[in-house]
Structure 1
Amino acid sequence: MKTSSNLWEYRLQSEDSGHKYLSILLHKFHFSAKLLQRLKQGERVWVNGQFTYLTARGKEGDLLSIQLVSDEEANLQGEDLPLDILYEDDYLLAVNKPVGQVVHPNRRYPEHTLANAVTGHWERKGENRLYRPIHRIDRNTSGVVVIAKNQFAHQQLAWQLERGHIHKRYLGFVEGVVPEDEGTIDDPIGFAPNSFIKRQIHPDGMTARTHFRVLRRYSCATFLEFILETGRTHQIRVHCEGFGHPLIGDDLYSGTKTLLDRHALHSSMYAFLHPSSGLPMVIRAPFPEDLRLLVIKLRDFVATTQE
């Protein structure tokens, strides 16, 4: 398989002979039905340099070429805002989102969002693209957010996400000392009563599974690594409250803001297969300054209590 900025190419193998190009793209490379439908509009599919229909059947050695759509009408107003770029190519943009910024505009935060910053970045590069985040993190969670730069990249990563092939790692500080070195919280999550924002553990909720590992214990807190097997809204925050150790600073879920004025959670790593090359990708975001200062406070607290 070979790719450039807008061209996807694959040379058919022996097992592909006799199969329709449509079937190869759908079942072998997980092209979505929506993307395949779009490819039918205009001469976007070639075999050995000649236009072909997706319903045609291939043979070993055929060079299948797909013209991917890159320029699209932007769906948001771009803004000239700071953007901490961790990685970018023709298919992906990965950024380190700061605390206090929402991923997508909403009624409460209609502007100055990550979406506005990313759109403005692309506009300055002369690129017209739709904003397609692969996942979202809360306004006061810092760290990695991955954005697809075209429809193909988005549906490829969405396919990986749905099947649990994307690995997300979070770092967080919870109140109290967690006795277990590691464990799994397997409690379903649903809406809390009379709230469109807050969630709670509920037997009729959606399946939610969080793996945790203790990285360090302090006298009044624990530093944890979280690996998400599912991606429910507020999942880590709800699960931490549920097992009696709310995130430091998370007053929505029983935490206190004595040491930190936001919930102490950082999206530190996002691992997946590149949608074009299929090669493993690992995106990491550095530890934010406010959590570094929190570590100092926790160390000082230990020293104070020991004196």
Structure 2
Amino acid sequence: MRQQGISRNLLKQIKFSGGRICVDGQRVRVTYKMHSGQRLEVTLPPEIPSDHIQVSNTPLEILYEDAHFLVVNKPAEVASVPSHIYADDSLVNRVKGYLIRTHAASQVTHIVTRLDRETSGIVIFAKHHFAHTVLDTQLKQHSLKKTYFCVVSGVLKVKHAVIDAPIGREPGSFIKRMVRADGRTAQTEYWVAKRMPATTLLRIRLHTGRTHQIRVHMASIGHPLVGDFLYGQQTNPWIHRQALHCASVSFYNPFVQKQITCYAPMPADLATLIKHESQL
């Protein structure tokens, strides 16, 4: 069962919260020793949705959907998860409304990947706990791939590089991060996609998933993201957020036994920024 992606936490839920484990149609304990040719069937426990998550009926832009995963394109200025500030129209609220409207088997919102509120692009949801566990494992093994595009201040001379610098909290701030020797390991790989007179368009691949990783790493080498009020300056007239977009994700779907790759088109404000920066 562990080899099939069932975590210890999920196994506990199966054992104690209404799930079932059967071999050749007969219910067994987890200590049962299987033999070649036997059939294992696992029934997941029922999932109870949280009453604390409000329902939003704002439409979603769906990039991929099956019985196990839902991949959506998050607009900028929409929070990924609810908070005391954004309690009723985060992406999680919208997905919960969608699951209810479509009479999904489970109406629990399992968000797998997250983006900052001002960052646009792809966010993955799992439709049940097992699917969530599968993608969590891929995240830890770095086999779930995410590609970003961003516009940074200044012109980068190096076409391709990896920023390998640990990230931790900035003293005195609950929000801001910084490169610091005692931080958590973080690697950001980038390629120059287009050089413009005063800015550079980059393609980014994350090898770790630290909070604000791209924003912190680019600021640390003297090229903060255009429009980033926290790590740079929000002074560009063409965009009023950090110029960052999650453009593609790729993961393995074991339930259909194929690689799933999704793309999110460049949003209008980022495209406008690139157009005007190119004409300077």
TM-score normalised by structure 2 residue count: 0.94
Is the CA contact (8 Å cut-off) linking 1:144 and 1:268 kept in structure 2? yes
Q: How does 1:65-214 map to 2 (within 5 A)?
A: 65-69=41-45, 71-75=47-51, 76-127=53-104, 128-214=106-192
Is the CA contact (8 Å cut-off) linking 1:74 and 1:129 kept in structure 2? no
Distance 1:125 1:70, change over 3 A: farther
Residue 29 of structure 1 corresponds to 4
Distance 1:156 1:30, change over 3 A: same
In structure 2, which of residues 11, 17, 24 is the aligned counterpart of residue 48 of structure 1? Answer: 24
**Structure 1 SS opposite 2:230:** helix
Distance 1:133 1:275, change over 3 A: farther
**Structure 2 SS opposite 1:115:** helix
In structure 2, which of residues 268, 271, 278 is the aligned counterpart of residue 292 of structure 1? Answer: 271
Give the distance between the partners of 1:106 and 1:73, measured in 2 at CA: 17
Give the distance between the partners of 2:163 and 2:188, measured in 1 at CA: 5
**Structure 2 SS opposite 1:183:** strand
Greater mean deviation of Cα atoms: 67-76 or 292-301: 67-76
Give the distance between the partners of 2:194 and 2:46, measured in 1 at CA: 45
Residue 13 of structure 2 corresponds to 38
Tell me by how many angstroms 1:69 deviates. Answer: 4.0
Q: Identity across aligned pairs (percent)? A: 38
Greater mean deviation of Cα atoms: 53-62 or 232-241: 53-62
Give the distance between the partners of 2:19 and 2:146, measured in 1 at CA: 38
Q: Say how many residue pairs are matched.
A: 276
Counterpart residue identity of residue 22, structure 2: W
Q: CA RMSD in A?
A: 1.5
**Structure 2 SS opposite 1:40:** helix
Tell me by how many angstroms 1:277 deviates. Answer: 3.5
Give the distance between the partners of 2:62 and 2:176, measured in 1 at CA: 31
Is the CA contact (8 Å cut-off) linking 2:187 and 2:208 kept in structure 1? yes
Give the distance between the partners of 1:70 and 1:295, measured in 2 at CA: 48
Is the CA contact (8 Å cut-off) linking 1:246 and 1:253 kept in structure 2? yes
Tell me by how many angstroms 1:188 deviates. Answer: 1.0
TM-score normalised by structure 1 residue count: 0.86
Q: Deviations over 1:58-100 (max 9, x none)?
A: 1111111122346532452211112111111111111000000
Give the distance between the partners of 2:189 and 2:42, measured in 1 at CA: 40
After TM superposition, the runs of 4+ consecutive aligned structure 1 residues lying more than 6 A away are none
Counterpart residue identity of residue 89, structure 1: D
**Structure 1 SS opposite 2:174:** coil
Residue 249 of structure 2 corresponds to 270
What stretches of structure 1 of length at least 5 have no aligned partner? Answer: 1-24, 302-307
Tell me by how many angstroms 1:132 deviates. Answer: 1.5
Is the CA contact (8 Å cut-off) linking 1:247 and 1:264 kept in structure 2? yes
Give the distance between the partners of 2:228 and 2:19, measured in 1 at CA: 53
Q: Does 1:238 align with 2:213?
A: no
Is the CA contact (8 Å cut-off) linking 2:19 and 2:46 kept in structure 1? no
Give the distance between the partners of 1:111 and 1:132, measured in 2 at CA: 17
Residue 36 of structure 2 corresponds to 60
Tell me by how many angstroms 1:43 deviates. Answer: 6.2
Greater mean deviation of Cα atoms: 140-149 or 81-90: 81-90
Q: Deviations over 1:130-171 (max 9, x none)?
A: 211112110000000001111101111111111212111110
Tell me by how many angstroms 1:209 deviates. Answer: 0.6
